[in-house]
């Protein structure tokens, strides 16, 4: 019997099988297989998703089970994973590991090399990434090594994201406005409401974009949906106003089903003390 070599391949939305760094998009499917050209002699297969975006891991299909903190399944055809359609916690890196013929984990709980580990029977060199929709960040997966950058290891993925921040032209990505509307296109993440307001809309938002609005004027406000056509859907029944000096409101952009203008959903708010 020939000796197998673990070799992971993935297919995005039914496309060609590939390995290494694989980019995908929100809403696409991911299928997994052992590379058929990597040799026979396979007696068993264990598949592990050792890290991934929280919203993706929370929506895995039947067949994937959580074992010691890692989502695991077996067999030659793991259940298809479908990426969420949007969400601030849905972008990032999906780390994939395959172990053949009962090969143990590479390291034990103390960090020592596991006795009996055979490197050719485990492959974790493929990673699927859905970039951040605002900046194009890859993010980092726990346990990530050379999947994105064979030379610089995980530092390559980190530098990719830092360069995107640098190329934005603004380290703060902040804008000021007096209302009623301000553009947040291009990844603006902070808006300062300096005038009387009220603020009723932020244009140019994309799915999952988060913006912190700081209200610095006692006369200013972020108007709740339904008030003067506001696109802000805030909790409760009142507008967000400055209290004891200022208030901050964090919102996230959610497109409407079927297209059209979306709305800004409240995540959290806070007020100054004293």
Angstrom CA distances, 145 to 19, 32, 125, 150, 154, stand at 15, 20, 8, 8, 5
3-state secondary structure 178-211: CCCEEECCCCCCEEEECCCCCECEEECCCCCCEE
Residue 9 · residue 73 · CB < 8 Å? no
The label of the residue with tokens 């995540």 reads 267
Three-state DSSP at 11 gives: strand
pLDDT digits (tens, 9 = 90+) for 243-257: 756 788 889 998 876
The total of other beta-carbon atoms located within 10 Å of residue 72's CB is: 18
What 8-state DSSP symbol labels residue 266?
E
Separation between Cα atoms, residue 35 and residue 68, nearest integer Å:
27
Three-state DSSP at 77 gives: coil
**What are the boundaries of each domain within the chain?**
8-167, 174-271
Task: Note the pLDDT of residue 244.
Answer: 59
The total of other beta-carbon atoms located within 10 Å of residue 162's CB is: 12
Task: Note the pLDDT of residue 273.
Answer: 43
Task: Note the pLDDT of residue 259.
Answer: 52
Closest CA relative to residue 221, chosen from 237, 243, 236 = 243
Task: Note the pLDDT of residue 274.
Answer: 34
Three-state DSSP at 38 gives: helix
- Burial classification of residue 259, based on how many CB atoms lie within 10 Å of its CB (0-12 exposed, 13-18 middle, 19 or more buried): exposed
Task: Show the low-confidence residues of the chain (pLDDT under 70).
Answer: 1-2, 134, 166-172, 244-245, 257-260, 272-274
Sign of CA dihedral 198, 199, 201, 203: positive
Task: Note the pLDDT of residue 134.
Answer: 67
């Amino acid at each position: 019997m020939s000796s197998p070599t673990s070799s992971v391949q993935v297919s995005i939305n039914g496309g060609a099988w590939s390995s290494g760094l694989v980019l995908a998009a929100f809403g696409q499917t991911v299928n997994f297989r052992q590379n058929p050209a990597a040799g026979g002699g396979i007696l068993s297969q264990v598949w592990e998703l050792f890290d991934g975006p929280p919203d993706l891991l929370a929506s895995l299909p039947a067949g994937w089970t959580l074992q010691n903190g890692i989502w695991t399944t077996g067999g030659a055809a793991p259940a298809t994973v479908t990426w969420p359609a949007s969400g601030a916690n849905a972008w990032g890196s999906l780390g994939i590991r395959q172990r053949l013929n009962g090969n143990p984990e590479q390291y034990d709980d103390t960090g020592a090399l596991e006795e009996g580990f055979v490197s050719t029977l485990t492959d974790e060199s493929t990673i699927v990434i859905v970039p951040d929709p605002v900046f194009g960040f890859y993010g980092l997966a726990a346990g990530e090594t050379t999947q994105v950058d064979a030379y610089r290891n995980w530092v390559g993925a980190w530098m990719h994201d830092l360069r995107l921040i640098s190329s934005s032209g603004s380290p703060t990505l902040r804008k000021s406005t007096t209302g009623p509307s301000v553009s947040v296109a291009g990844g603006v993440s902070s808006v300062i409401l300096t005038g009387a307001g009220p603020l009723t809309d932020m244009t140019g938002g994309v799915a999952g974009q988060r913006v912190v609005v700081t209200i610095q004027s006692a006369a200013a406000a972020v108007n709740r949906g339904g008030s003067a056509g506001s696109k802000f859907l805030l909790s409760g029944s009142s507008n967000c106003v400055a209290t004891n000096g200022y208030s901050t409101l964090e919102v996230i952009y959610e497109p409407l089903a079927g297209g059209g203008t979306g709305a800004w959903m409240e995540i959290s708010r806070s007020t100054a003390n004293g």
